[in-house]
Structure formats: structure tokens, C-alpha cells
Amino acid sequence: MLLASLVLLPFLGSVLAALMPQDARNRESWLAIGVAVGGLAIAAALFPQVAAGEVVRAEFAWLPAEGLDFVLRVDGLAWVFSMLVLAIGLLVVLYARYYMSPEDPVPRFFAFLLAFMGSMLGVVLSGNLVQLVVFWELTSLTSFLLIGYWHHRADARRGARMAFTVTATGGLCLMAGVLVLGHIVGSYDLDVVLAAGDQIRDHELYLPALVLVALGALTKSAQFPFHFWLPHAMAAPTPVSSYLHSATMVKAGVFLLVRLWPALAGTPEWTWIIGGAGVCTLLIGAFVAIFQHDLKGLLAYSTISHLGLITVLIGIGTPLAIVAAIFHILNHATFKASLFMAAGIIDHETGTRDLRVLRGLRHKLPITATLAIVASAAMAGVPLLNGFLSKEMFFAETLHVGGDRNWWMSYAAVAMGMFSVAYSLRFISVFFGTPAQGLPRDPHEPPRWMRFPVELLVLACLVVGVAPGVSIEPLLHLAVVATLGEDAPAYDLAVWHGFNLPLLMSVCALVGGMLLYGVLRRHFDLARRERVPLLHRLNGAQAYETTMLQLTRGAEWLLRRVGTRRLQPQLMLMMLALLLIPLLLAGAPPAWTVIPVRGFDPIFAGMWLIGAGCALAAAWMAKYHRLAALALVGGTGIVTAATFLWLSAPDLALTQLMVETVTTVLILLGLRWLPPRIESIAGPVQPPWQVWTRRTRDLALAVGGGLALAALTHAVLVHPASDTIADFFLLNALGGGGGSNVVNVLLVDFRSFDTLGEITVLAVVALTVYALLRRFRPAPESAGIPPQQRFEGDPASRQSPAEQAGSGYLLVPGIYLRLLLPFMGVIAVYFFMRGHNLPGGGFVAGLIFAVAILVQYMLAGTVWVESRLNLRPHRWLGFGLLLACTTGLGAWWFGHPFLTTHTAHVEWPLVGELHLPSAFVFDLGVFAVVVGTTMLMLVALAHQSLRAHRHPGEDLTADGQGGAEGRRI
């Protein structure tokens, strides 16, 4: 439970932070500090167990059927990493309090930051690979949100998109890799996977698994060739850069590699893939960093280079190299976080980050300057600082690669050392020289507590650098033992090892770096160079943009080639599929047996004859007489409803009748937007033979489809009903569900989960229709007022709809229909109330209620109704869904499964005993959703006819209705 709260706490804090007001900077900071301190306390409480070499686990059933559990697991490595995440998080939060300006919406910032903290802890503490990937993607998502925090800036949006695309794609590769690993081992549990190293390495799928996992790790840790996203991620606020993009998130990739080292490492493939990517990154990052003009850009490339260093160490893969890698992860987090914060202070105080402008800042910012110089020295690997120690271990490890003859790795290491000295010098050059004039702001020392995190981190650099044995050794030992187990090598963290090759390499790098910087400054115009020499063509960001562009183009091409906007081909393909696919799946239909007709009823047959006649006539009229066709379709619908009634399905009949009504109104509203018939080509023209063929084909297809469906229905009807669950429902409706109307009990009790899904779909459809109609603009020929309404011989053409209903030709119908409104309301309530026992229910009641409102719309027009009735269809939808879900969740409160119905018998003063099942409340939710859906769609359509009268540039008030119609529904 302690473990679970460690991960949960930041997420809870995130929700709380999101709920605070815009300007609550101090409260947000206190909350975030509280979360970080709480996390640290929990981690500290776990320390005794972890220090004893125990693996603390907490398991929760997640998908037990699939063998997946939610496992949290702390060993030494995870513990050290969570301490890193929490401690740096604490400092960053403190720093961010002063960095963020009062105008920034801080709730969003702190909510995302805390969510990131939780996700990162999730990655570190996951004891299950699938779960690790989930948290992994969560860190990508929060990183995306944080980079895009200032979303009004184009570079922030672009950087956020790029970072997310790269890391999330990598995450998907990682997911695939994890699935392959799970397939090889037979479990996703981390302990099992780690113990099965030999099995994995011998498996034929080892290489794919390795490549996929490596893709995930390398994209996350910004390794070549995916390094380009990190510099663009610098558009984020500096606390974010300091926390996510130097200290923690980018370390997730190398963390994963260290974590899976026992399972995957030890093969030439591992060394080549991981080590190769690391070497390229190391050199490119360090070299490009020298030529940056942006303080944060320089630090970003330096981060890339240091991550490359760690990756190389992991790629080398000897136990000592892993020790060095973990050690450097910790060291780099310390000095780079402090450097980013220092860069943020400079940016904050001077208003610019341009290395070409900044000079002589040590006069104005003496303390910050000292801190930044010490941290850069650590970055450069100057002795007595922590960077020196891990860099020397790195040099020592590179000497082992390639044996005695092959020295290329060592050369690369020294070159990287020289570059890093050079860019560190470039970084601290801002503090020296004559003070710059004309900075955007006059710099002075930042507030005490803004500098405090930097001071603390620099102090850590110094302490670790001077006395590693007492400060960092115990922690490092924990992580190393957890990773390497009994292979843990003997290592010595002393500052002085005597004169040896690594020391020589360090001295070479320091001296060489200073010389290189001097030469570049003097002879290559370092301060003004726009391009990176040699490597400026290696533009990963450009390649990324090109790829994205190609993808979009490709998708457009594919859409053009295989897609269509015309309805006819789509319908034809659907009908063809409907006809052919069942044949392919089920084979030829069975032999046809003629069923003797029993109980022939001439009245029923006559009714059907009328219905079928209506349907055929509707098809006949559909081309030129749409209104007639619509009326005929309505006739078919009524016959269908009557059929249901005849066959003892009153619920269905009622619903069908209401659906028929609403649909007819819907199509009537839509008819107006269809293009009018072109009168000029009317008349008996002999169509060309292609047209004739096409029409014949379509007719055959339509007839075939209809016949096939009829045959299918017939086949279903004549087959004897096998063991269905219908009997169960019939038997249990009254006893189990407490209602004698089986249909309604089925809907709101037995299968209420289905119903919940259906009303959700309804709501989604309604919102989609609404959204589509908001952007709908009619074709030019139907945009104007239809000629029927423009006819001046009719007095009604000079009246608004409201006037027509109030004093015009609609006066009498108007009085009648307004009289009808309360009746219809009562009927809706009546059908709703009796739904559980007699035909009715929320669905029908909702439709009736919607029709009652619609009638008012049809009578007096949108403007009249909406100036009197404040309908909010969105709220009906939301309220309905909420009610249905809450009813379902209520069952949990009493310890029953979701959506269990409970029936209460309430004694009311006048009514007597009332039977009140909780399904009743659920049905109320259904009712509200149905009302909301119908209203939203029809009203959105109705608003179209108001909006369409406006032509571009037309005066709104000239329309007579324009003023009021601006209201949105």
C-alpha cells in the first residue's frame, strides 16, 4: 500500500492542482512541494528494506485472465531512480515557483508536472513490462503537454509535436518489443524476464526483440538518429527542460537499458546497436553543442552527448561499465539540472538566452556566475567535481574496448572530452568580458529561493567530487547490486588513482579542449558562425518534417485513389459486400423448403400489401417527387408499427411510431437542402446505353439486396427457435427484475450495460451530427430562401414564423398545438412511469417529449421557441449519461457489481406504497439522453435554415430574424 501511494500521490496532486484558480502560484507550489516531500518520505520509509537487499513488491489484479498484474517493485536501482525523480522534482518545483510569471496559467503547469512525476515513478517502479510501457507513454504524453505549455508559440507547438511523435512511436516499438519478450519468456513479470536472460539470448526472436526495445530506449533518450527532438523540446519552460529533458525523462531510455541489461546484454548485437548509436550521439552532440548560440540549445546538445556517453557505457556492457553508466546518470542529473536552472535564471534576469549578446554577467550576477561555473566545470570533467569521476571511469572502460590494438573508441572518448570542455567554456563565457549593454532587462541576482535549488545541486556536485566514498558510494552500491546481482564488480570511487592512462586522457581532454576553444574563437569566428561546420547538413528535424509531409501526401494520394465522396459508389460497394460476403463465409444457402401457410389472415395480408405498395411507390417517386416519396415511406412505417402491434409487441409498436414521426420531421428538414430538379432536362429523353446499363445494374443490385434480406428474414422465421435466453427473461422479469414488462426490464435491468453503451453511442452520434452541422454550408443554389416562401401573392411571405403563428394563417393550429403541449408532456410522464410494468419506458417517453417540443418548433419557428424555452440539449445529454452511470456506480457502494438493480419500497403519504427500483433512475437517464439526442440533432438542422439565409457581407438585421438567431443552441 505504501508503494502504491508513492505512485498515486503525484497523480492525486495533479488532479488537485488542476482544480485550483489561475493565479494560485503559492498554493500550487506548496501542493507540489508537499507531494514531492511526501514521496521522499515514503521512499525513505522503504529504505531499510531496500538496503537489506530485499525486493519490495506490491501486486494488484489487473487482467488476471491474461496473466497481467499491476506490479510495483522496488529494488536498489528503482529506489535510487525514484529518489532522483523526487529530489530533483522537489527542487524544480521550488525553482518553478519563481520562474513562472504571474500571467502564466499555473494550474495547468503544476498539474502536468505532477502527472509527469507520477508517470516517471510508474516507469521506474513497474514490475511488469506492459505496465511499464503504459507509464512510458504517459511520460511522453505529459512531456508533450509540458513542451507545448506556451501553446500560443509556434515553436512550442512544433517542438511538442516532434517530441511526441518521436517518443510515442518509440514507445509503440517498445510495446512490440515487450510483447516479443513476453512471448519468449512466457511472462511479462520483470523478475521472471530478468531471470530468463540466457533463454532470451538463445531465442531466434532475440534480434527483433532487441531492435524494438532499443528503438524505444534510443528515441526516449534522444540518441542518434532520433536526437533531433530534444533541442526543439527546449521551447518548454526552463523548469521543464531542467526536470524532464535533462534529469529524468530522457534518462528513462538509459534506465530501461540498464534495467533490461541482465536480460538482453552480452551479445555482439547489443554492443553494436547500443554502443554504435551511443558513439555517434556522443560525438555529434558534443560537436554541435560548441556551435550553438542559444544557452538552452547548447545545454540540450550537451545533454544529448552525455546521454550518448551513458549509452556507450551500457553498450560496452561490462559490469564496470554499467557501474559507470549508473554513476554518470546520477552525476549528469545533478550538474545538468543546475546548469539548466542557471540558464533559466540568466534568461529570467536578462530577458535573452543569446550567447552572442550575453557578456560580463559576473558583475551583475556574482553568485549565480560562481554556481554556473562550478557546474560547468563538473560537466567538463574538471577534477574534484563529480563529472570528473564518472568521466574517468568512462575513459577507463573505453580502453578495454577492442583489445590492445584497436584504439578508436579511446580516441572518440578523448575527442568527446575535448568538445565538452570547449562547450563548457563557451557556456561560461557569458560571465566574462565587459558587461553587455542594451540587454532587454537589467539583470540582478534572483530571489533567494530561486537560487537555492542551484546551490544545493552544485553543493552535491562538489561533495560527490571531493568525497565520493562517503557520499554517493552507498547509493550507487544499492543500484549496482540490484542490476548486476552477484556479478557486481569491485570498484573504487577514489579521486586519485595514481598516474595511469585514464588520467592522461583526462588531462589531454582538458588541455585539448581549451586549445580547441581558443582556436575556434580566434580563427573560426565562433561567436558569429551561423552553421555548424561539417555537420550542418545532418538535419534530423528537416528529415522529420519531410517524412511527415510525405506521409500526409501519401495519405491524400491513397484517399484520392481509393476513396470517394459520392454516395452511390459507397452504397453500391456496401450492398455488394452485404450480398457476397455472407455467401463467401457461409457458402451456398441450404435447399429451399416451402413452408405451408397456416393461419392466413386476409386483414393482416391486406395491411402488408398496403405497406409494400407504399414502399415500392416511394422508391418510384424518390427521384423527382421527394415529398411524395417521404409521405409514402411514412405509410410503410405506420404499417410496420401496426404489424408490431398485431404481433403483440406494443413496446416496439410505440417506439416505431415515435421513431417514424421524428425521422419524418428530420428528413423534411433535410429535404430543403437537396438540389432542386433541373426542369430543363425533364421530358422523355432516351438515355445513352451506358446510363441504361448502369441503372439496370443498380436496379438488379437493389432488388437482389432486398430479396436476400427478405430470404434471410424468412429463413430465420421458419427455423424453429433453438435454446435462446428469451425464456430466461420471460421467467425472471417479474421475480428477478420486479417488472412485468419484459422488454423494459430487459433494457434497464438484465442488459442495462448494453443500454448504457447504446445511450453513450446515441450521445456521441448527436454530438457528431451537431459538430458536422455547425460547419455545414449549403450548396449555393439552395442557400437562399426557397421560392415557396418568397411568393408575394401569399401574405404569409411577409411575416416571420412567429407572426404567422401569432396572427397569421397558423393562428388556429397554433392555439391547438400549444394546448397540446401539456397533454403531450403528461403522456410522456405517463408512459415513463408505467414503463416497468406496461408498454412504455424511458425511450418512448423521451421520444414523445421530444416530439412535443418539436411540434412547437414546427409551429412558430426557432426564434419564437428559443426566446421562451431555454432548452439545453447538451445538458440533457450530459445529465442523462451522468444519471445512468451514477445509478450503475451506486451498486458498487453496496458491494454489488456495476449496474446491479435494487428495488426499494417506499411508503408515500398520499400515494401509498410505491415500488421504486433503481432501474427507474437508470431509465430516467435513458429518457434524458433520448430527449437530448433528438433535440440536438433536429434543432441543429432547424438552425441551418436560419443561418443559410445570411449571405456573406449581408446585414444581419435586414433579415428580420438575424438578430436573435445568433444564439447558439
If the CB atoms of residues 204 and 792 are measured against other proteins, the closer one turns out to be 792
Peptide bond preceding 262 in cis form (omega within 30 of 0): no
Instruction: Compute the residue count for the chain.
Output: 969
Q: Which residue type, as a one-letter code, is found at position 654? A: L
CA dihedral 357, 362, 368, 372 (to 10 degrees): 70
If the CB atoms of residues 46 and 858 are measured against other proteins, the closer one turns out to be 858
Whether the Cβ atoms of residue 769 and residue 757 lie closer than 8 Å to each other? no
The least distance separating other proteins from the CB of residue 738, rounded to whole angstroms, comes to 29
The least distance separating other proteins from the CB of residue 859, rounded to whole angstroms, comes to 11
CA dihedral 279, 282, 287, 291 (to 10 degrees): 150
Query: By 3-state DSSP, what share of the chain in percent is helix, strand and coil, each rounded to 5?
Result: 70, 5, 25
The least distance separating other proteins from the CB of residue 783, rounded to whole angstroms, comes to 17
Number of residues that bind other proteins (CB under 8 A): 9
If the CB atoms of residues 41 and 627 are measured against other proteins, the closer one turns out to be 627
Q: Which three cell numbers stand for residue 524?
A: 573560426
Contacts of 751 (CB under 8 A, 6+ apart): none
Q: Which stretch binds other proteins (CB under 8 A): 59-67, 333-341, 717-725, 789-797?
A: 789-797
If the CB atoms of residues 50 and 805 are measured against other proteins, the closer one turns out to be 805
The least distance separating other proteins from the CB of residue 955, rounded to whole angstroms, comes to 21
Which whole-number Å values give the CA distances from 951 to 208, 777, 863, 899, 959, in the listed order?
60, 11, 19, 51, 10
Q: Which positions from 435 through 474 interact with other proteins, judged by CB under 8 A?
A: none
If the CB atoms of residues 793 and 909 are measured against other proteins, the closer one turns out to be 793
Helix (H) or strand (E) holding 63: strand 56-63
Cβ atoms within 10 Å of 541's Cβ, excluding its own? 14
Neighbouring-strand partners of residue 126 = 72
The least distance separating other proteins from the CB of residue 813, rounded to whole angstroms, comes to 5
Whether the Cβ atoms of residue 848 and residue 828 lie closer than 8 Å to each other? yes
Separation CA 161–CA 155 (nearest Å): 10
Q: Which stretch binds other proteins (CB under 8 A): 378-386, 536-544, 639-647, 811-819?
A: 811-819
Query: Using CB atoms within 10 A of its CB, is residue 696 exposed (0-12), middle (13-18) or buried (19+)?
Result: exposed
Q: Which stretch binds other proteins (CB under 8 A): 64-72, 345-353, 633-641, 807-815?
A: 807-815
Q: Which stretch binds other proteins (CB under 8 A): 20-28, 371-379, 535-543, 792-800?
A: 792-800
Q: What is the SS3 assignment for 905?
A: strand
If the CB atoms of residues 404 and 781 are measured against other proteins, the closer one turns out to be 781
The least distance separating other proteins from the CB of residue 679, rounded to whole angstroms, comes to 13
Cβ atoms within 10 Å of 157's Cβ, excluding its own? 15
The least distance separating other proteins from the CB of residue 959, rounded to whole angstroms, comes to 17
Query: Using CB atoms within 10 A of its CB, is residue 200 exposed (0-12), middle (13-18) or buried (19+)?
Result: buried
The least distance separating other proteins from the CB of residue 22, rounded to whole angstroms, comes to 56
Q: Which residue type, as a one-letter code, is found at position 192? A: V
If the CB atoms of residues 728 and 791 are measured against other proteins, the closer one turns out to be 791
Q: Is 809 in the site for other proteins (CB under 8 A)?
A: yes
Q: Is 826 in the site for other proteins (CB under 8 A)?
A: no
If the CB atoms of residues 65 and 812 are measured against other proteins, the closer one turns out to be 812
The least distance separating other proteins from the CB of residue 819, rounded to whole angstroms, comes to 8
Name the phi and psi angles at 157, rounded to 5.
-65, -45
Whether the Cβ atoms of residue 314 and residue 321 lie closer than 8 Å to each other? yes
Separation CA 510–CA 414 (nearest Å): 9
Instruction: State the greatest distance between any 2 C-alpha atoms of the chain, in Å, as a whole number.
Output: 112
Q: Is 65 in the site for other proteins (CB under 8 A)?
A: no
If the CB atoms of residues 595 and 812 are measured against other proteins, the closer one turns out to be 812
Q: Which stretch binds other proteins (CB under 8 A): 16-24, 31-39, 398-406, 787-795?
A: 787-795
* Residue with the three cell numbers 418568397: 790
Helix (H) or strand (E) holding 912: strand 912-917
Q: Which three cell numbers stand for residue 293?
A: 548560440
Upper half-sphere CA count for residue 313 (Cβ side, 13 Å): 28
Q: Which of 699, 794, 869, 904 forms a contact with other proteins (CB under 8 A)?
A: 794
If the CB atoms of residues 77 and 852 are measured against other proteins, the closer one turns out to be 852
Q: Is 677 in the site for other proteins (CB under 8 A)?
A: no
**H helix count then E strand count, the chain:** 41, 4
Q: Which of 792, 907, 913, 955 forms a contact with other proteins (CB under 8 A)?
A: 792
Q: Is 793 in the site for other proteins (CB under 8 A)?
A: yes
Q: Which stretch binds other proteins (CB under 8 A): 92-100, 671-679, 809-817, 924-932?
A: 809-817
Q: Which residue type, as a one-letter code, is found at position 794? A: D
Q: How far is CA 241 from the centre of its chain?
A: 22
The least distance separating other proteins from the CB of residue 551, rounded to whole angstroms, comes to 52
Q: Which stretch binds other proteins (CB under 8 A): 104-112, 143-151, 325-333, 806-814?
A: 806-814
Q: Which residue type, as a one-letter code, is found at position 236? A: A
The least distance separating other proteins from the CB of residue 812, rounded to whole angstroms, comes to 6
Q: Which of 812, 910, 911, 958 forms a contact with other proteins (CB under 8 A)?
A: 812
Which whole-number Å values give the CA distances from 852 to 58, 151, 602, 855, in the listed order?
57, 46, 36, 5
If the CB atoms of residues 178 and 824 are measured against other proteins, the closer one turns out to be 824
Q: Is 705 in the site for other proteins (CB under 8 A)?
A: no
The least distance separating other proteins from the CB of residue 784, rounded to whole angstroms, comes to 12
Q: Which stretch binds other proteins (CB under 8 A): 569-577, 728-736, 738-746, 786-794?
A: 786-794
If the CB atoms of residues 683 and 793 are measured against other proteins, the closer one turns out to be 793
Q: Which of 816, 822, 872, 905 forms a contact with other proteins (CB under 8 A)?
A: 816
Q: Which three cell numbers stand for residue 616?
A: 415500392
If the CB atoms of residues 587 and 793 are measured against other proteins, the closer one turns out to be 793
If the CB atoms of residues 411 and 816 are measured against other proteins, the closer one turns out to be 816
If the CB atoms of residues 16 and 810 are measured against other proteins, the closer one turns out to be 810
If the CB atoms of residues 620 and 816 are measured against other proteins, the closer one turns out to be 816
The least distance separating other proteins from the CB of residue 850, rounded to whole angstroms, comes to 20
Q: Which stretch binds other proteins (CB under 8 A): 146-154, 309-317, 716-724, 784-792?
A: 784-792
What crossing angle do the helices spanning 76-99 and 448-466 adopt, rounded to 10°?
150
The least distance separating other proteins from the CB of residue 823, rounded to whole angstroms, comes to 9
Q: Which stretch binds other proteins (CB under 8 A): 30-38, 456-464, 505-513, 790-798?
A: 790-798
Whether the Cβ atoms of residue 397 and residue 495 lie closer than 8 Å to each other? no
If the CB atoms of residues 93 and 810 are measured against other proteins, the closer one turns out to be 810
* Residue with the three cell numbers 444519471: 883
Q: Which of 266, 276, 813, 890 forms a contact with other proteins (CB under 8 A)?
A: 813
The least distance separating other proteins from the CB of residue 809, rounded to whole angstroms, comes to 5
Closest by Cα among 130, 133, 205, 127 to 170: 133
Give alpha helix (H) positions in 351-407. 366-380, 386-400
Closest by Cα among 630, 626, 624 to 683: 624
Q: What is the SS3 assignment for 686?
A: coil
* Residue with the three cell numbers 588513482: 497
Q: Which of 753, 791, 892, 898 forms a contact with other proteins (CB under 8 A)?
A: 791
Q: Is 790 in the site for other proteins (CB under 8 A)?
A: yes
The least distance separating other proteins from the CB of residue 603, rounded to whole angstroms, comes to 13
If the CB atoms of residues 706 and 822 are measured against other proteins, the closer one turns out to be 822
Interface residues with other proteins (CB under 8 A)? 790-794, 809, 812-813, 816
